[in-house]
Chain A
Amino acid sequence: MAAATDTLERETKLQGLGSSRLRKEDARFIRGRGSYIDDIKLPGMLFGAIVRSPYAHARIKSINKAKALAVPGVVAVLVADDLKPVKLDWMPTLGSDVQAVLADKKVCFQMQEVAMVIAADRYSAADGADAVEVDYEELPAIVDPHMSMAPGAPIIREDIAGKDEVGHGKRTHPNHIFTWEAGDKAGTDAVFASAAVTVKEEILNPRVHPCPLETCGCVASFDKVTGQLTVYITSQAPHLVRTVVAMLSGIPESKIRIIGGDIGGGFGNKVPIYPGYVVAIVASIVTGVPIKWIESRIDNISTTGFARDYHGVGELAADKDGRIKALRFTALADHGAFNSHVSATKLPAGLFSICTGSYDIPKAYCRVDAVYTNKAPGGVAYRCSLRVTEAVYLIERMIDVLAQKLGLDKAEIRRRNFVKADKFPYTTSLGWTIDSGNYQAALEKVLKAVDYDGLRKEQAAKRAKGELMGIGVCTFTEIVGAGPTKVCDILGIGLFDSCDIRVNPTGSAIARLGTMSQGQGHATTYAQIIATELGLSSDEIQIEEGDTDKAPYGAGTWGSRSTPVGGAAAAMAARKIRAKAQKIAAHLLEVGEGDLEWEVDRFKVKGNPAQARTMKEIAMAAHTSNLPDGMEKGLDATEYYDPPNMTFPFGAYVCVVDIDRFTGETKVRRFYALDDCGTRINPMIIEGQIHGGLTEAFAVAFGQAIPFDENGNHLGNSLMDYFLPTAVETPHWETDHTVTPSPHHPIGAKGVAESPHVGGIPCFSNAVVDAFAHLGVTHMDMPHTAFRVWQLCKALGINKR
């Protein structure tokens, strides 16, 4: 008993896996001592301000720098022609296209980068930017993606007009980017032709923006003497930035250092490489001094990193009992003026083919047509893996549409279609092998917790009185952790990740990883994984990320890949160290390796627990001469982890809304979120991630959209118009969990931060539509603002007192 207590005490002290220990990164943030991009100040640093196009589509007839150069403090004005000698006027995108760094002869979206003014400080830079004279000849703009491929449509990208393809197969129109499809089209069509029931709905995921509180920016510093380029940058993927900069500039990759520092939120916005970064780098190379470029909020929403803009059509075929027999989903994807959509090379529509969801659907076909429009480029994954929100939104909305058509309860139709718990690993009809899941158990737990039957009774009573109450159900499956290098690469680089651990003689350790925290708490959670693997306190394990001179190569943090890939690398590197430690312990205790067993923080001799060596003792021994013959000194290991599969977090959510039919206002009365992310590393941090993801889902469902007029002018690109929920609107969140570990992940973890966003959005929409279901409404496009909901009430004639 005493021994057991002692073991438990030692384990608790480690604050390892499963502990809700407080975050290690908080100490600097609560004192205002973070080091974000705009906090970086280098000697002699100049400031860059970008001149942007007022038109969505126009020819540049001339640019006159003279007045700008006369502004006090202005040092230089760079335009496309100035970038040509260094071949940096165009850059490759992460979507296999090219993008103008500064507009060359024409602009293709409003606010496109036309020039950069370099000046002594941000005020003179802004003055200079105002003084640059650009003469434009306006061209007709394409705003609606449905018009992009119309005969006679204006050609947006003259630079590639003659090209048959831009990286992803044959193009059929100058404004066509690619067509991608998956599944069995003929087989699916045949099922639809003979199905008892079919449903079809047009479903839009509107153009939105991740809008982290910190905008994008960089400080580029080129040392002409050493040829060394250092770039402090808001990047979720510093190593990928280093490789792209090397490809672009011709500077050897070994002379490029990218430093991520503290990042004020990313949510996908900080994955791509933006023109502002590249011009700042060129400006530093040209001037020989450091250049800072920081986006304004309006620049941020207008130009860097929009998400979604998928115009979908969902179709399901089912039998009369609501068992889905086939799925057919298509989407028209508006990628803006350049295809800088972040995608793995072989997956131009990302992971859209996860759209069969949590359901056992025998036949499926999906297709995405991507087109150019005169809007900002992007298509980042806003708190989700590539195109997963779009896919999950379609299936979770469509299963509700089917339930309404058949008069089935929305929980019951899910029960009838779930992949059963004993069927895993389960390969979907679109080819993904889902490693694990237990969907029905999760749903039943949630239904019981919220008294689902009671809620439906209450809803019936309210409907009888003419009141609007909606109950949204969502049982989503995510796909995260990109990913296996045989499937996933960007610019040819496989999406593995890495961890390098060094244990010091006194038993503390430092670990460096190829991922990049933007608030997720990696300094805490990675330390917890390593603490449990090595039996060292997480307090004494230092985590470093984001400095490419220090960290091993990795693809960064996005697509919930840190825990599935980086966390796995951490566990595997630690296991290499523990294997070496076991050899050292055997040597010190003069027994065979097989005579030892691991217990919390030490190797002990089986049957003689008093004979033991702690990891701390072994760490010291590893730095002495007392080692087995021929063994290298030190206690270090590096792991480059290539995951065998993606991971598949899932969840069951229920949302209850009350809608005022006279004003259209929706009140979220209750939101209950059960998430299964496999093994839980730090429950406190998980809960925080769920709260945040649900709040961003709430924002998308109820207010976020980037509207344009017919000429491509932005109609809402500041926080005056773009909805970020405050503490007042944000609902109270209830969280719950089940634990179904991933069988292929070293610690069974799956990733969590995106699930609440991906699952939350359809849950809100399902609740809002459910409030009107008895009136024959099957779908309403987001955002569900009071005005739009009121318009529906008015159309239904229920808005009069």
Chain B
Amino acid sequence: MAKKHAVSFKLNGKAVDVVVEPRELLIHSLREKLQHTGPHIGCETSHCGACTVDLNGMSVKSCTVLTVQCQGAEMLTIEGFEQSGALHALQEGFTQEHGLQCGYCTPGMITRAYRLLKENPSPSEEEIRYWMAGNLCRCTGYQNIVKAVQYAAKKMSSPRT
């Protein structure tokens, strides 16, 4: 068995450590060692985006990232969106606009949309569709996912009351 490595990174703001074989994929470390089962496995080939997490300010598909690559990283998963009992605007948007059905793609979708709105706070429908094209959904036909992202964009850009 290959030598194991200790890897430390920040997961949703908290310092975590894992000990892994060099070949271990980030999605498995998150789900099986760190009990973060929000990101899902849909294809193992980087096509479906169910495993999307935000790594050092970029959306990545954690089924094709090695955990050993994450030393010192800052990572956000779906588990980090709700703050002090308040839903993130995207979580609210997905519910309000019926942007999910079976829920399997939802954590990846929300995490990807988070990065989109960081980079482009008021995207057009075309831009949303383009940015979200790495995340597959089999249930919704995307129309309500677009609306969910628009809902969040609007809410996040309006001045706080």
Cβ contact within 8 Å between B47 and A691? no
* Chain B: minimal CB distance from A298 (Å): 8
CA distance A559 to B5 in the complex (A): 50
Cβ contact within 8 Å between A38 and B41? yes
Supposing A31-B81, A720-B47 touch, asked if A696 and B107 sit within 8 A by C-beta, the answer is no
B97-136 CB contact bits vs A (8 Å, 1 = yes)? Answer: 0101111111100100000000000000000111011111
Cβ contact within 8 Å between A213 and B28? no
Among A73, A122, A691, contact of B143 (Cβ-Cβ < 8 Å): A691
Query: With an 8 A cutoff between CB atoms, is A19 at the interface?
Result: no
Contacts of A691 in B (CB 8 A): 140-144
Contacts of B138 in A (CB 8 A): 211-213, 265, 267, 692, 695-696, 724
**Binding site secondary structure of chain B:** loop
Contacts of A688 in B (CB 8 A): 98, 101, 139-140, 144
A27-43 CB contact bits vs B (8 Å, 1 = yes)? Answer: 11111111010110100
Contacts of B48 in A (CB 8 A): 213, 297, 719, 724
Contacts of A754 in B (CB 8 A): none
CA distance A296 to B36 in the complex (A): 20
Cβ contact within 8 Å between A32 and B96? no
Interface size on B, residues (CB 8 A): 58
Supposing A72-B1, A692-B139 touch, asked if A265 and B104 sit within 8 A by C-beta, the answer is yes
Query: With an 8 A cutoff between CB atoms, is A519 at the interface?
Result: yes
Query: With an 8 A cutoff between CB atoms, is A520 at the interface?
Result: yes
Contacts of A362 in B (CB 8 A): none
Cβ contact within 8 Å between A694 and B141? yes
CA distance A262 to B101 in the complex (A): 11
* Chain A: minimal CB distance from B96 (Å): 7
Query: With an 8 A cutoff between CB atoms, is B158 at the interface?
Result: no
Cβ contact within 8 Å between B141 and A726? no
Query: Which B55-89 residues have C-beta < 8 A from chain A?
Result: 77-79, 81-82, 87
Among A26, A39, A215, A692, contact of B95 (Cβ-Cβ < 8 Å): A26
Query: With an 8 A cutoff between CB atoms, is B137 at the interface?
Result: yes
Query: With an 8 A cutoff between CB atoms, is A214 at the interface?
Result: yes
Supposing A38-B41, A728-B130 touch, asked if A30 and B100 sit within 8 A by C-beta, the answer is yes
* Chain A: minimal CB distance from B67 (Å): 12
Query: With an 8 A cutoff between CB atoms, is A730 at the interface?
Result: yes
Contacts of B130 in A (CB 8 A): 727-728
Among B50, B77, B146, contact of A727 (Cβ-Cβ < 8 Å): B146
Supposing A29-B106, A212-B138, A265-B139 touch, asked if A297 and B40 sit within 8 A by C-beta, the answer is no
Query: With an 8 A cutoff between CB atoms, is A733 at the interface?
Result: yes
A714-726 CB contact bits vs B (8 Å, 1 = yes)? Answer: 0000111000101
CA distance A205 to B137 in the complex (A): 24
Contacts of A733 in B (CB 8 A): 141, 143
Cβ contact within 8 Å between B95 and A22? yes
Cβ contact within 8 Å between A727 and B45? no
Cβ contact within 8 Å between B102 and A264? yes
Query: With an 8 A cutoff between CB atoms, is B21 at the interface?
Result: yes
Cβ contact within 8 Å between A518 and B102? yes
Cβ contact within 8 Å between A30 and B141? no
Query: With an 8 A cutoff between CB atoms, is A25 at the interface?
Result: yes
Task: Tell me which of B43, B141, B144 has the highest count of chain A C-beta atoms within 10 A of its own C-beta.
Answer: B141
CA distance A511 to B121 in the complex (A): 43
Among B79, B136, B140, B145, contact of A32 (Cβ-Cβ < 8 Å): B79
Among A26, A689, A724, contact of B100 (Cβ-Cβ < 8 Å): A26
Cβ contact within 8 Å between B104 and A264? yes
* Chain B: minimal CB distance from A126 (Å): 10
Which residue of chain A lies nearest to B146 when distances are taken between CB atoms in the complex? A727
Query: With an 8 A cutoff between CB atoms, is A391 at the interface?
Result: no
A-B pairs with beta carbons under 8 A, tally: 170
* Chain B: minimal CB distance from A684 (Å): 5
Cβ contact within 8 Å between B101 and A32? no
Contacts of B146 in A (CB 8 A): 727
Cβ contact within 8 Å between A726 and B38? no
Cβ contact within 8 Å between B79 and A31? yes
Which residue of chain A lies nearest to B111 when distances are taken between CB atoms in the complex? A32
CA distance A22 to B98 in the complex (A): 7
Contacts of B47 in A (CB 8 A): 718-720, 724
CA distance A685 to B99 in the complex (A): 10
Cβ contact within 8 Å between B78 and A32? yes
Cβ contact within 8 Å between B103 and A264? yes
Contacts of A521 in B (CB 8 A): 101
Cβ contact within 8 Å between A29 and B45? no
Cβ contact within 8 Å between B102 and A123? no
Contacts of A719 in B (CB 8 A): 43, 45, 47-48, 136
Among A215, A519, A692, A730, contact of B103 (Cβ-Cβ < 8 Å): A519
Cβ contact within 8 Å between A30 and B140? no
Cβ contact within 8 Å between A123 and B23? yes
* Chain B: minimal CB distance from A408 (Å): 33
CA distance A309 to B153 in the complex (A): 44
Query: Which B13-38 residues have C-beta < 8 A from chain A?
Result: 21, 23-24, 28, 31-32, 36-38
CA distance A264 to B144 in the complex (A): 18
Cβ contact within 8 Å between B45 and A23? no
Cβ contact within 8 Å between A123 and B21? yes
Which residue of chain A lies nearest to B77 when distances are taken between CB atoms in the complex? A32
Among A33, A41, A214, A215, contact of B102 (Cβ-Cβ < 8 Å): A214
Query: With an 8 A cutoff between CB atoms, is A605 at the interface?
Result: no
Cβ contact within 8 Å between A297 and B102? no
Supposing A519-B103, A719-B45 touch, asked if A30 and B91 sit within 8 A by C-beta, the answer is yes
Cβ contact within 8 Å between A213 and B24? no
Among B1, B82, B132, B134, contact of A31 (Cβ-Cβ < 8 Å): B82
Query: With an 8 A cutoff between CB atoms, is A77 at the interface?
Result: no
CA distance A764 to B100 in the complex (A): 25
Which residue of chain A lies nearest to B35 when distances are taken between CB atoms in the complex? A41
Cβ contact within 8 Å between A29 and B139? no
CA distance A296 to B143 in the complex (A): 28
Contacts of A685 in B (CB 8 A): 98
Cβ contact within 8 Å between A31 and B91? yes
Task: Tell me which of A73, A263, A296, A727 has the highest count of chain B C-beta atoms within 10 A of its own C-beta.
Answer: A727
Task: Tell me which of B21, B138, B143 has the highest count of chain A C-beta atoms within 10 A of its own C-beta.
Answer: B138
Cβ contact within 8 Å between B43 and A297? yes
- A-B pairs with beta carbons under 8 Å apart, 15 shown: A22-B98, A29-B100, A29-B103, A30-B100, A30-B110, A36-B104, A38-B31, A39-B31, A212-B104, A213-B104, A688-B139, A718-B43, A718-B45, A719-B45, A719-B48
A39-B37, A264-B103, A719-B48 known; 17 new pairs, CB 8 Å cut-off, are A22-B95, A27-B95, A30-B94, A33-B38, A36-B37, A38-B37, A39-B31, A215-B42, A297-B42, A691-B142, A718-B45, A720-B45, A726-B133, A727-B142, A728-B129, A730-B141, A732-B143
Question: Which residues of A approach B to under 8 Å, CB–CB?
Answer: 22-23, 25-34, 36, 38-39, 41, 72-73, 121-123, 211-215, 262-265, 267, 294, 296-297, 518-521, 684-685, 687-689, 691-692, 694-696, 718-720, 724, 726-728, 730, 732-733
Query: Across chains A and B, which 9 residue pairs bring their CB atoms closest together, nearest first?
Result: A32-B38, A519-B102, A29-B103, A264-B104, A691-B141, A32-B78, A695-B141, A519-B101, A719-B47
